[in-house]
Structure 1
Protein backbone atom coordinates (compact mmCIF):
# COMPACT_ATOMS: atom_id res chain seq x y z
CA UNK A 1 0.00 0.00 0.00
CA UNK A 2 1.35 3.42 -0.99
CA UNK A 3 2.21 5.89 1.76
CA UNK A 4 -0.36 8.62 2.34
CA UNK A 5 -0.70 11.89 4.20
CA UNK A 6 1.65 14.78 4.79
CA UNK A 7 5.43 14.51 4.82
CA UNK A 8 6.92 13.77 8.23
CA UNK A 9 10.59 13.25 7.35
CA UNK A 10 12.71 13.26 4.20
CA UNK A 11 15.88 11.35 5.05
CA UNK A 12 18.34 10.62 2.23
CA UNK A 13 16.48 8.20 -0.09
CA UNK A 14 13.51 7.65 2.23
CA UNK A 15 10.38 9.78 2.53
CA UNK A 16 8.24 9.04 5.58
CA UNK A 17 4.63 10.19 5.47
CA UNK A 18 1.98 10.29 8.17
CA UNK A 19 0.63 6.87 7.21
CA UNK A 20 4.10 5.32 7.67
CA UNK A 21 4.64 6.81 11.10
CA UNK A 22 1.10 5.82 12.15
CA UNK A 23 2.15 2.16 11.98
CA UNK A 24 4.39 2.80 14.98
CA UNK A 25 1.33 3.67 17.07
CA UNK A 26 0.73 -0.05 17.28
CA UNK A 27 -0.33 -2.69 17.37
CA UNK A 28 0.54 -2.72 13.67
CA UNK A 29 2.88 -4.48 11.28
CA UNK A 30 5.53 -1.92 10.22
CA UNK A 31 6.12 -1.35 6.51
CA UNK A 32 9.06 -1.29 4.11
CA UNK A 33 9.46 2.50 4.39
CA UNK A 34 10.15 2.28 8.11
CA UNK A 35 12.60 -0.59 7.66
CA UNK A 36 14.27 1.30 4.81
CA UNK A 37 14.56 4.39 7.02
CA UNK A 38 16.26 2.43 9.81
CA UNK A 39 18.73 0.92 7.34
CA UNK A 40 19.51 4.39 5.94
CA UNK A 41 20.07 5.70 9.46
CA UNK A 42 22.50 2.92 10.29
CA UNK A 43 24.32 3.39 6.98
CA UNK A 44 24.49 7.20 6.94
CA UNK A 45 24.96 7.95 10.63
CA UNK A 46 26.15 5.01 12.69
CA UNK A 47 28.37 3.13 10.23
CA UNK A 48 29.21 5.85 7.71
CA UNK A 49 32.91 5.26 8.38
CA UNK A 50 32.54 1.62 7.33
CA UNK A 51 30.65 2.17 4.08
CA UNK A 52 33.06 -0.03 2.13
CA UNK A 53 32.54 -2.95 4.51
CA UNK A 54 28.77 -3.22 4.78
CA UNK A 55 25.85 -3.07 2.35
CA UNK A 56 22.38 -2.29 3.64
CA UNK A 57 20.13 -3.60 0.87
CA UNK A 58 16.76 -1.86 1.04
CA UNK A 59 13.48 -3.82 1.03
CA UNK A 60 12.55 -2.86 -2.54
CA UNK A 61 15.90 -4.07 -3.88
CA UNK A 62 15.65 -7.32 -1.88
CA UNK A 63 12.23 -7.92 -3.40
CA UNK A 64 13.71 -7.41 -6.87
CA UNK A 65 16.48 -9.90 -6.07
CA UNK A 66 13.91 -12.47 -4.98
CA UNK A 67 11.44 -12.09 -7.82
CA UNK A 68 13.46 -10.70 -10.73
CA UNK A 69 15.01 -12.67 -13.58
CA UNK A 70 18.52 -13.82 -12.61
CA UNK A 71 20.16 -12.02 -15.54
CA UNK A 72 18.36 -8.78 -14.70
CA UNK A 73 19.33 -9.05 -11.04
CA UNK A 74 23.01 -9.58 -11.86
CA UNK A 75 23.03 -6.64 -14.25
CA UNK A 76 21.20 -4.21 -11.96
CA UNK A 77 23.24 -5.04 -8.84
CA UNK A 78 26.69 -4.62 -10.38
CA UNK A 79 26.92 -1.05 -9.12
CA UNK A 80 26.54 -2.20 -5.51
CA UNK A 81 29.79 -4.20 -5.71
CA UNK A 82 28.39 -6.74 -3.28
CA UNK A 83 31.32 -9.13 -3.61
CA UNK A 84 33.56 -6.40 -2.15
CA UNK A 85 31.53 -6.13 1.07
CA UNK A 86 32.33 -8.06 4.22
CA UNK A 87 28.73 -7.87 5.46
CA UNK A 88 25.46 -7.73 3.50
CA UNK A 89 22.11 -7.17 5.24
CA UNK A 90 18.82 -8.01 3.52
CA UNK A 91 15.32 -7.64 5.02
CA UNK A 92 13.17 -10.52 3.74
CA UNK A 93 9.44 -10.24 3.03
CA UNK A 94 7.08 -13.11 2.18
CA UNK A 95 5.33 -11.26 -0.67
CA UNK A 96 5.53 -13.29 -3.90
CA UNK A 97 4.25 -10.83 -6.52
CA UNK A 98 5.67 -7.60 -7.91
CA UNK A 99 2.21 -6.31 -8.81
CA UNK A 100 0.78 -6.87 -5.32
CA UNK A 101 3.24 -5.40 -2.81
CA UNK A 102 2.67 -6.27 0.81
CA UNK A 103 3.18 -9.60 2.51
CA UNK A 104 2.69 -10.35 6.18
CA UNK A 105 6.08 -11.30 7.62
CA UNK A 106 9.58 -9.80 7.82
CA UNK A 107 12.88 -11.47 8.70
CA UNK A 108 16.58 -10.70 8.20
CA UNK A 109 19.09 -12.44 5.92
CA UNK A 110 22.78 -11.76 6.58
CA UNK A 111 25.76 -12.64 4.38
CA UNK A 112 29.21 -12.73 5.99
CA UNK A 113 31.92 -12.77 3.33
CA UNK A 114 34.74 -14.00 5.57
CA UNK A 115 32.88 -17.24 6.29
CA UNK A 116 31.00 -17.28 2.97
CA UNK A 117 27.75 -18.05 4.77
CA UNK A 118 24.18 -16.80 4.83
CA UNK A 119 22.44 -16.54 8.20
CA UNK A 120 18.69 -16.10 8.62
CA UNK A 121 17.18 -14.38 11.66
CA UNK A 122 13.45 -15.09 11.80
CA UNK A 123 11.30 -14.06 14.79
CA UNK A 124 8.74 -16.67 13.71
CA UNK A 125 11.21 -19.45 13.01
CA UNK A 126 10.78 -21.16 9.67
CA UNK A 127 8.16 -18.77 8.30
CA UNK A 128 10.45 -17.07 5.78
CA UNK A 129 12.95 -19.86 5.18
CA UNK A 130 11.92 -20.49 1.57
CA UNK A 131 12.15 -16.78 0.73
CA UNK A 132 15.57 -16.45 2.39
CA UNK A 133 16.88 -19.44 0.42
CA UNK A 134 15.53 -17.99 -2.81
CA UNK A 135 17.36 -14.71 -2.23
CA UNK A 136 20.59 -16.48 -1.30
CA UNK A 137 20.39 -18.60 -4.45
CA UNK A 138 19.84 -15.48 -6.56
CA UNK A 139 22.99 -13.90 -5.09
CA UNK A 140 25.18 -16.98 -5.43
CA UNK A 141 26.73 -16.18 -8.80
CA UNK A 142 27.04 -12.47 -8.02
CA UNK A 143 29.06 -13.31 -4.89
CA UNK A 144 31.06 -16.01 -6.70
CA UNK A 145 29.88 -18.77 -4.36
CA UNK A 146 29.82 -22.50 -5.01
CA UNK A 147 26.77 -22.93 -2.79
CA UNK A 148 24.22 -20.71 -1.08
CA UNK A 149 23.31 -22.63 2.06
CA UNK A 150 21.28 -20.67 4.60
CA UNK A 151 21.69 -21.30 8.34
CA UNK A 152 18.73 -20.57 10.59
CA UNK A 153 20.05 -18.59 13.57
CA UNK A 154 18.40 -18.76 16.98
CA UNK A 155 16.91 -15.38 17.90
CA UNK A 156 14.15 -13.89 20.05
CA UNK A 157 10.71 -15.05 18.89
CA UNK A 158 7.74 -12.71 18.59
CA UNK A 159 4.70 -13.34 20.77
CA UNK A 160 2.12 -11.80 18.42
CA UNK A 161 1.37 -11.53 14.70
CA UNK A 162 2.63 -8.00 14.02
CA UNK A 163 6.03 -7.30 15.64
CA UNK A 164 8.19 -9.09 13.05
CA UNK A 165 9.44 -5.82 11.53
CA UNK A 166 10.55 -4.51 14.91
CA UNK A 167 12.52 -7.70 15.45
CA UNK A 168 14.22 -7.06 12.09
CA UNK A 169 15.20 -3.55 13.23
CA UNK A 170 16.66 -4.92 16.45
CA UNK A 171 18.50 -7.74 14.68
CA UNK A 172 19.95 -5.28 12.15
CA UNK A 173 21.34 -3.21 14.99
CA UNK A 174 22.63 -6.24 16.88
CA UNK A 175 24.35 -7.88 13.90
CA UNK A 176 26.05 -4.62 12.93
CA UNK A 177 27.28 -4.01 16.47
CA UNK A 178 28.72 -7.52 16.69
CA UNK A 179 30.21 -7.90 13.21
CA UNK A 180 31.50 -4.35 12.78
CA UNK A 181 32.97 -4.25 16.28
CA UNK A 182 30.89 -1.38 17.59
CA UNK A 183 29.52 -2.12 21.03
CA UNK A 184 27.25 0.89 21.51
CA UNK A 185 23.66 1.10 20.26
CA UNK A 186 22.06 4.20 18.77
CA UNK A 187 18.65 3.82 20.39
CA UNK A 188 17.38 2.28 23.56
CA UNK A 189 16.06 -0.79 21.76
CA UNK A 190 15.18 -3.84 23.84
CA UNK A 191 15.47 -7.46 22.69
CA UNK A 192 12.63 -8.83 24.83
CA UNK A 193 9.58 -9.60 22.72
CA UNK A 194 7.24 -8.27 25.42
CA UNK A 195 9.00 -4.88 25.27
CA UNK A 196 8.46 -4.19 21.57
CA UNK A 197 6.08 -1.34 22.43
CA UNK A 198 9.12 0.34 23.98
CA UNK A 199 10.99 -0.07 20.70
CA UNK A 200 8.16 1.53 18.74
CA UNK A 201 8.44 4.59 20.97
CA UNK A 202 12.22 4.69 20.56
CA UNK A 203 11.84 4.79 16.78
CA UNK A 204 9.13 7.46 16.98
CA UNK A 205 11.46 9.60 19.09
CA UNK A 206 14.29 9.20 16.58
CA UNK A 207 12.05 10.21 13.67
CA UNK A 208 10.77 13.24 15.59
CA UNK A 209 14.32 14.29 16.45
CA UNK A 210 15.52 14.06 12.85
CA UNK A 211 12.43 15.90 11.59
CA UNK A 212 13.27 18.80 13.93
CA UNK A 213 16.77 18.98 12.47
CA UNK A 214 15.48 19.34 8.89
Structure 2
Protein backbone atom coordinates (compact mmCIF):
# COMPACT_ATOMS: atom_id res chain seq x y z
CA UNK A 1 0.00 0.00 0.00
CA UNK A 2 2.99 2.30 0.50
CA UNK A 3 3.44 2.69 -3.28
CA UNK A 4 0.13 4.48 -3.63
CA UNK A 5 -1.36 1.43 -5.33
CA UNK A 6 -3.87 -0.96 -3.89
CA UNK A 7 -3.20 -4.39 -2.44
CA UNK A 8 -3.88 -7.60 -4.35
CA UNK A 9 -4.83 -10.70 -2.34
CA UNK A 10 -5.70 -14.08 -3.79
CA UNK A 11 -7.34 -17.11 -2.18
CA UNK A 12 -6.32 -20.60 -3.25
CA UNK A 13 -7.20 -24.14 -2.23
CA UNK A 14 -8.66 -27.39 -3.43
CA UNK A 15 -12.35 -27.68 -4.27
CA UNK A 16 -14.45 -27.57 -1.11
CA UNK A 17 -11.73 -25.94 1.01
CA UNK A 18 -13.99 -23.06 2.03
CA UNK A 19 -11.84 -20.40 0.39
CA UNK A 20 -14.79 -18.64 -1.27
CA UNK A 21 -16.58 -18.28 2.05
CA UNK A 22 -13.43 -16.95 3.71
CA UNK A 23 -12.84 -14.51 0.84
CA UNK A 24 -16.33 -13.09 1.39
CA UNK A 25 -15.78 -12.87 5.15
CA UNK A 26 -12.51 -11.02 4.65
CA UNK A 27 -14.11 -8.58 2.21
CA UNK A 28 -16.87 -7.83 4.72
CA UNK A 29 -14.36 -7.30 7.54
CA UNK A 30 -12.17 -4.94 5.51
CA UNK A 31 -15.15 -2.93 4.27
CA UNK A 32 -16.18 -2.53 7.91
CA UNK A 33 -12.78 -0.86 8.42
CA UNK A 34 -13.66 1.69 5.74
CA UNK A 35 -11.54 0.21 2.96
CA UNK A 36 -12.65 -0.06 -0.64
CA UNK A 37 -12.68 -3.76 -1.45
CA UNK A 38 -13.24 -5.40 -4.81
CA UNK A 39 -14.21 -9.05 -4.36
CA UNK A 40 -13.77 -10.98 -7.58
CA UNK A 41 -13.14 -14.50 -8.84
CA UNK A 42 -11.45 -16.65 -11.45
CA UNK A 43 -12.25 -17.77 -13.95
CA UNK A 44 -14.51 -14.76 -14.29
CA UNK A 45 -14.50 -11.32 -12.72
CA UNK A 46 -15.28 -9.43 -15.94
CA UNK A 47 -18.02 -9.91 -18.56
CA UNK A 48 -15.76 -11.61 -21.10
CA UNK A 49 -14.07 -13.79 -18.49
CA UNK A 50 -17.45 -14.90 -17.13
CA UNK A 51 -18.38 -16.16 -20.59
CA UNK A 52 -15.19 -18.24 -20.67
CA UNK A 53 -15.99 -19.52 -17.17
CA UNK A 54 -19.19 -21.06 -18.49
CA UNK A 55 -17.16 -22.90 -21.12
CA UNK A 56 -14.50 -24.38 -18.84
CA UNK A 57 -16.37 -25.23 -15.63
CA UNK A 58 -19.37 -27.04 -17.07
CA UNK A 59 -19.81 -30.20 -19.08
CA UNK A 60 -18.00 -33.50 -19.33
CA UNK A 61 -14.65 -33.76 -17.48
CA UNK A 62 -12.94 -34.65 -20.78
CA UNK A 63 -14.47 -31.74 -22.69
CA UNK A 64 -11.16 -29.86 -22.96
CA UNK A 65 -7.56 -30.97 -22.96
CA UNK A 66 -5.26 -29.46 -20.34
CA UNK A 67 -3.53 -27.46 -23.09
CA UNK A 68 -6.81 -25.94 -24.27
CA UNK A 69 -7.78 -25.14 -20.69
CA UNK A 70 -4.52 -23.22 -20.18
CA UNK A 71 -5.28 -21.04 -23.20
CA UNK A 72 -8.87 -20.44 -22.09
CA UNK A 73 -7.92 -19.58 -18.52
CA UNK A 74 -5.14 -17.25 -19.67
CA UNK A 75 -7.54 -15.43 -22.01
CA UNK A 76 -10.06 -15.04 -19.18
CA UNK A 77 -7.33 -13.84 -16.80
CA UNK A 78 -6.07 -11.22 -19.24
CA UNK A 79 -9.57 -9.74 -19.63
CA UNK A 80 -10.07 -9.85 -15.87
CA UNK A 81 -6.75 -8.10 -15.28
CA UNK A 82 -7.45 -5.35 -17.79
CA UNK A 83 -11.04 -4.63 -16.88
CA UNK A 84 -11.26 -5.32 -13.13
CA UNK A 85 -8.00 -5.85 -11.26
CA UNK A 86 -5.74 -3.13 -12.66
CA UNK A 87 -8.34 -0.33 -12.46
CA UNK A 88 -9.18 -1.23 -8.86
CA UNK A 89 -5.52 -1.33 -7.79
CA UNK A 90 -4.84 1.96 -9.58
CA UNK A 91 -7.41 3.73 -7.42
CA UNK A 92 -6.02 2.20 -4.23
CA UNK A 93 -8.58 -0.53 -3.57
CA UNK A 94 -7.96 -3.89 -1.94
CA UNK A 95 -8.62 -6.59 -4.53
CA UNK A 96 -9.58 -10.02 -3.15
CA UNK A 97 -9.61 -12.67 -5.85
CA UNK A 98 -11.05 -16.16 -5.40
CA UNK A 99 -8.35 -18.05 -7.37
CA UNK A 100 -5.71 -16.59 -9.67
CA UNK A 101 -2.75 -17.96 -11.66
CA UNK A 102 -1.69 -20.45 -8.97
CA UNK A 103 -4.85 -22.45 -9.68
CA UNK A 104 -3.84 -22.80 -13.31
CA UNK A 105 -0.31 -23.79 -12.27
CA UNK A 106 -1.76 -26.56 -10.10
CA UNK A 107 -4.83 -27.74 -12.02
CA UNK A 108 -3.49 -27.69 -15.56
CA UNK A 109 0.24 -27.28 -15.03
CA UNK A 110 0.81 -30.00 -12.43
CA UNK A 111 -2.26 -32.13 -11.77
CA UNK A 112 -3.42 -32.73 -15.35
CA UNK A 113 -0.09 -33.01 -17.15
CA UNK A 114 3.50 -31.86 -17.09
CA UNK A 115 2.61 -28.40 -18.39
CA UNK A 116 3.90 -26.10 -15.65
CA UNK A 117 6.49 -24.50 -17.95
CA UNK A 118 3.76 -23.73 -20.49
CA UNK A 119 1.59 -22.11 -17.80
CA UNK A 120 4.48 -19.99 -16.53
CA UNK A 121 5.54 -18.91 -20.02
CA UNK A 122 2.03 -17.77 -20.94
CA UNK A 123 1.66 -16.05 -17.59
CA UNK A 124 4.89 -14.10 -18.06
CA UNK A 125 3.90 -13.12 -21.60
CA UNK A 126 0.25 -12.17 -21.09
CA UNK A 127 -0.30 -11.49 -17.36
CA UNK A 128 2.97 -10.51 -15.68
CA UNK A 129 1.39 -9.95 -12.26
CA UNK A 130 1.30 -11.98 -9.07
CA UNK A 131 -0.80 -11.28 -5.98
CA UNK A 132 0.89 -9.41 -3.15
CA UNK A 133 -0.43 -12.01 -0.69
CA UNK A 134 -1.83 -15.47 -1.42
CA UNK A 135 -3.95 -17.12 1.26
CA UNK A 136 -3.99 -20.89 0.86
CA UNK A 137 -6.83 -22.60 2.72
CA UNK A 138 -5.47 -26.10 3.29
CA UNK A 139 -7.98 -28.94 3.48
CA UNK A 140 -7.98 -32.74 3.57
CA UNK A 141 -8.67 -33.85 -0.04
CA UNK A 142 -11.43 -36.33 0.81
CA UNK A 143 -13.25 -33.85 3.03
CA UNK A 144 -12.90 -31.14 0.41
CA UNK A 145 -14.33 -33.34 -2.33
CA UNK A 146 -17.25 -34.35 -0.11
CA UNK A 147 -18.02 -30.69 0.55
CA UNK A 148 -17.68 -29.76 -3.12
CA UNK A 149 -20.00 -32.54 -4.30
CA UNK A 150 -22.57 -31.65 -1.65
CA UNK A 151 -22.92 -27.98 -2.50
CA UNK A 152 -25.49 -26.56 -4.88
CA UNK A 153 -24.39 -25.16 -8.20
CA UNK A 154 -23.53 -26.02 -11.77
CA UNK A 155 -19.73 -25.51 -11.80
CA UNK A 156 -18.95 -29.17 -11.19
CA UNK A 157 -16.72 -30.25 -14.06
CA UNK A 158 -13.48 -30.45 -12.05
CA UNK A 159 -15.11 -32.27 -9.13
CA UNK A 160 -15.86 -34.99 -11.70
CA UNK A 161 -12.16 -35.90 -11.83
CA UNK A 162 -12.44 -37.37 -8.31
CA UNK A 163 -10.21 -37.69 -5.25
CA UNK A 164 -6.96 -38.42 -7.09
CA UNK A 165 -7.03 -34.95 -8.63
CA UNK A 166 -7.86 -33.43 -5.25
CA UNK A 167 -4.81 -35.09 -3.69
CA UNK A 168 -2.53 -33.95 -6.50
CA UNK A 169 -3.91 -30.42 -6.25
CA UNK A 170 -3.31 -30.21 -2.52
CA UNK A 171 0.30 -31.29 -2.94
CA UNK A 172 0.74 -28.82 -5.79
CA UNK A 173 -0.58 -25.92 -3.72
CA UNK A 174 1.57 -26.80 -0.72
CA UNK A 175 4.65 -27.07 -2.95
CA UNK A 176 3.94 -23.60 -4.35
CA UNK A 177 3.47 -22.24 -0.84
CA UNK A 178 6.85 -23.64 0.21
CA UNK A 179 8.52 -21.97 -2.78
CA UNK A 180 7.01 -18.46 -2.58
CA UNK A 181 7.04 -16.07 0.37
CA UNK A 182 3.77 -14.41 -0.64
CA UNK A 183 1.85 -17.52 0.52
CA UNK A 184 0.23 -17.79 3.95
CA UNK A 185 -1.17 -21.25 4.68
CA UNK A 186 -4.38 -21.40 6.74
CA UNK A 187 -5.67 -24.63 8.31
CA UNK A 188 -9.15 -25.06 6.80
CA UNK A 189 -10.39 -27.59 9.36
CA UNK A 190 -13.22 -26.43 11.61
CA UNK A 191 -16.21 -24.13 11.35
CA UNK A 192 -16.25 -20.85 9.43
CA UNK A 193 -15.55 -18.67 12.47
CA UNK A 194 -12.61 -20.80 13.58
CA UNK A 195 -11.00 -20.66 10.17
CA UNK A 196 -11.58 -16.91 9.91
CA UNK A 197 -9.85 -16.42 13.26
CA UNK A 198 -6.78 -18.20 11.85
CA UNK A 199 -7.03 -16.14 8.68
CA UNK A 200 -7.16 -12.87 10.62
CA UNK A 201 -4.08 -13.88 12.59
CA UNK A 202 -2.24 -14.43 9.31
CA UNK A 203 -2.99 -10.86 8.18
CA UNK A 204 -1.38 -8.52 10.71
CA UNK A 205 -1.53 -5.82 8.01
CA UNK A 206 -5.25 -5.55 8.76
CA UNK A 207 -5.92 -7.30 12.08
CA UNK A 208 -3.99 -6.54 15.26
CA UNK A 209 -3.51 -9.34 17.78
CA UNK A 210 -5.31 -8.83 21.12
CA UNK A 211 -3.15 -7.02 23.68
TM bin, normalised by shorter chain, reads 0.3 to 0.5
Decide which structure has greater helix share: 2
Greater relative CO (CA pairs within 8 A, separation 6+)? 2
TM-score by length of 2: 0.32
